[in-house]
Amino acid sequence: MSDDAVLYSTQGDVGIITINNPPVNALRNAVRTGIKDGVEKFVADPAVKAIVLIGGGRTFIAGADIKEFGKPPSGPDLNSVIATMENAPKPIVAALHGTALGGGLETAFGAHYRVIAPTGKVGLPEVHLGLLPGAGGTQRLPRLMGAKAALDAILSGAHISAGKAKATGIVDEIVEGDLLTEAVKYAHKLAADKAPLKKIRDKKATLESPVLFEETEKAIARKSRGFLAPFHIIKTVKAAVELPFDQGMKRERELFQELLTSSQSAAQRFYFFAEREAAKVKDVPSDTPMREIKAAGIIGAGTMGGGIAMNFANAGIPVTVLENDQAALDRGLKTIRTNYENTARRGGMKAEDVDKRMALITPTLSYDDLKNADIIIEAVFETMEVKEQVFKKLDQVAKPGAILATNTSGLDINQIASYTKRPQDVIGMHFFSPANVMKLLENVRGKATSKDVIATVMNLSKKIGKVPVLVGVCEGFVGNRMLRQRGVQASYLIEEGATPQQVDKVLYDFGFPMGPFAMSDLAGNDVGWRIRQGKKESQQSNTRYSGYVADAICEQGRFGQKTGKGWFLYNLPDRTPIPDPEVQKIIEETSKRLGIKRREISDQEILERTLYPMVNEGAKILEEGMAQRALDIDVIWVNGYGWPVYRGGPMFWADQIGVKKIYDALNKYHEQTGDAFWKPAPLLKKLAETGGTFASL
């Protein structure tokens, strides 16, 4: 018998099974047991002619309980629960609302009929966990909507609206009004009419094209490069088309087990919880009162400012954008409109929504128009002088209680806050370019930043579609500070004998979308060049200058894609990086000038020397309290820098390969080079010596 995770009741001759497992009615053991017992109980009860399965609270079942994976299985497995429903001699109606996802939708497939609330959604998002639907979803969905649509749905893991679910046969009816009342009426009528007990397993999965599976594999090759689950999903849908149901189920189970026990799924299941945990701030209680954000202001309509403004408009929050000259303002608004029009053209939004979003964005040349904003984010030129001017002005203009945020990518938030009489209202919100696309938002806590400002901004970040992580004030915050370590070694490696293409390929094959040199060409090599000219290597005072080759590249105007050549050549508009003998010459001349004898460098050495220093810097960041938890660093790297989610994140990965292995390698390079750069962080040393993990901190 289950605990009160499942409740039973009757209305007339209809038995009702209500899932009561907040917050999302996940299918933990007690829920599976409760459903199975409930069906058996109502089947045995002669007074009950039909059964309704419904979710209590805000949603129908949102899936298997991800926390249960990896633990010894207990209670009835989901397939047996679904079979019990499917074989029941009385009509079972699944009543869906909220998000019926994964094992939740698969459970609903065991019912003979499905009804849904107009705002309900369904989906099979297992692919995001490095899995595939493991309780018949890959065999039943193609039998409902055909192989092609089923493949698209399972590979994307997208939520499907009630309308589309009805149109594709996933549900039988969309019911207005009270879902339970309507579902009971519907079930009662099915029994009265002796309606057939429909079993999805008896239907045939249609195959729209004989080359569907090969074509799909090619179509996803680029986006799913390195992932296992998408390619296993294709195999299971193929089985749904080619094999009898029970054999297809067997094939699904085999492939599901392979994924469940894979390191990729372990990493992606870790990441699922990490992203949610990172949004929580240890010393800011979840019930901290938040400031209401009804209107926003952005200072600067450039690439960053415009992108930031779009996030607010996308969330339906009116936003005023301030520039100091009309031409810049017009350019900024035009770019925003173009971005929306391009998205609409690609089908990412309705054409009529372009004007609706633009109507939420008010351009202005006057600070006075920011006086009613609840939050003002500056995205102006990245110098402290300009930030000082802006924040002194904001201190005069912004209403009391307005949150004053800076989008700085590394300047000292405490110093910026000191330019106002309200440092408690000042916070950093470090967006990543393009700000309307990149999910990561590093929120930077100043010494004086108040807890309600932190709570408000962390919540607001999610509202505007970002993945927020709270970091501390240090040079480069967390992401760029670790990126710098990778960059220093990448530069040394090409001076010592590697080529840019070799370094890039090692990191590309690891799973990054591109390597550091191609990335620099994309961002513009002149960005780093200007910064290096503007300041000493303050971050790496304990290691030698790493910009010799990069400077030589820029001195020849090789700024990257925008100039058609940088570290690589580009036959624009094609952006494929092409190794350039000219660059090789510059590199070899630099090695000679530095007195470095070039040598063959292995891919393994490249991997260790680019990634282990990142882990070491992560350990320092944790020691200094610049990130709350190791998983925060992982969430930053997955969302801001393309760390492959199937490897969890740099700190998760370090635990997987073993902190001791990294520690020993750091010591090896330290001994080889004598460079203080390689000195292991005390925390990393401690973990290596005690067999500890970053996850255990």
* Single residue of 7, 66, 607, 697 touching ligand T1G by CB under 6 A: 66
Question: 537 an active-site residue?
Answer: no
- Choose which of 15, 134, 230, 613 interacts with ligand T1G (CB under 6 A): 134
| CA dihedral sign, ordered 101, 106, 111, 114 | positive
Site string for ligand T1G, 99-128 (x = CB under 6 A): x-xxx--x------------------xx--
**Which CB, 135 or 488, lies closer to ligand T1G?**
135
Beta carbons within 10 angstroms of residue 604's beta carbon = 10
d(Cα 413, Cα 426) in Å, to the nearest integer? 8
- Least spacing, CB of residue 252 vs ligand T1G, in Å: 9
Q: How far apart are CA 659 and CA 625, in angstroms?
A: 20
Task: Write each residue from 260 to 279 as x if it is in contact with ligand T1G (CB under 6 A), else as -, in one continuous string.
Answer: -------------x--x---
| C-alpha 254 chain-centroid distance | 28
CA 34 to the chain's CA centroid: 33
Strand partners, 10: 15
3, 67, 447, 544: residue in contact with ligand T1G (rule CB under 6 A): 67
Query: How many whole angstroms separate alpha carbon 514 and alpha carbon 50?
Result: 56
Q: Least distance to ligand T1G from the beta carbon of 646, Å?
A: 15
- Name the residue nearer to ligand T1G (CB basis): 48 or 440: 440
Kindly state whether residue 632 participates in binding ligand T1G, applying the rule CB under 6 A.
Answer: no
One of 52, 62, 165, 361 touching ligand T1G (CB under 6 A): 62
CB count within 10 Å of CB 162 equals 22
- For 487-556, give the DSSP string: HHHHHHHHHHT--HHHHHHHHHHHT-SS-HHHHHHHH-HHHHHHHHHHS---TTTTS----HHHHHHHHT
Helices within 556-645 (DSSP H only) = 581-593, 603-623, 630-640
From 68, 86, 126, 442, the catalytic residue? 126
DSSP H helical ranges for 46-196: 78-86, 103-110, 137-145, 147-156, 162-167, 179-192
Q: Which of 19, 31, 78, 93 binds ligand T1G (CB under 6 A)?
A: 78
The tokens describing 366, both together, are 């006057």
Q: Interface with ligand T1G includes 133 (CB under 6 A)?
A: yes
Binding of residue 63 to ligand T1G (CB under 6 A)? yes
Instruction: Please tell me whether residue 356 binds ligand T1G under the rule CB under 6 A.
Output: no
In terms of CB distance, is 460 or 569 closer to ligand T1G? 460
Q: Would you say 318 and 296 are in contact if contact means Cβ atoms under 8 Å apart?
A: yes
Selected binder of ligand T1G within 24, 457, 498, 614 (CB under 6 A): 24
CB under 6 A: which stretch of 132-140, 210-218, 352-360, 561-569 binds ligand T1G?
A: 132-140
Catalytic residue among 106, 182, 378, 605: 106
- Whichever of 387 and 629 has its CB closer to ligand T1G, that residue is 629
329 CB-contact burial (10 Å; exposed 0-12 / middle 13-18 / buried 19+): middle
Q: Does 131 bind ligand T1G (CB under 6 A)?
A: yes
Place of tokens 């370019």: 433
User: Could you say which residues in the range 313-342 bind ligand T1G, by CB under 6 A?
Assistant: none
Q: Minimum distance between the CB of residue 65 and ligand T1G, rounded to whole angstroms?
A: 5
Is 126 designated active site? yes
Kindly list the catalytic residues. Answer: 106, 126
Residues in contact with ligand T1G by CB under 6 A are: 23-24, 26, 62-67, 78, 99, 101-103, 106, 125-126, 129, 131, 133-135, 137, 273, 276
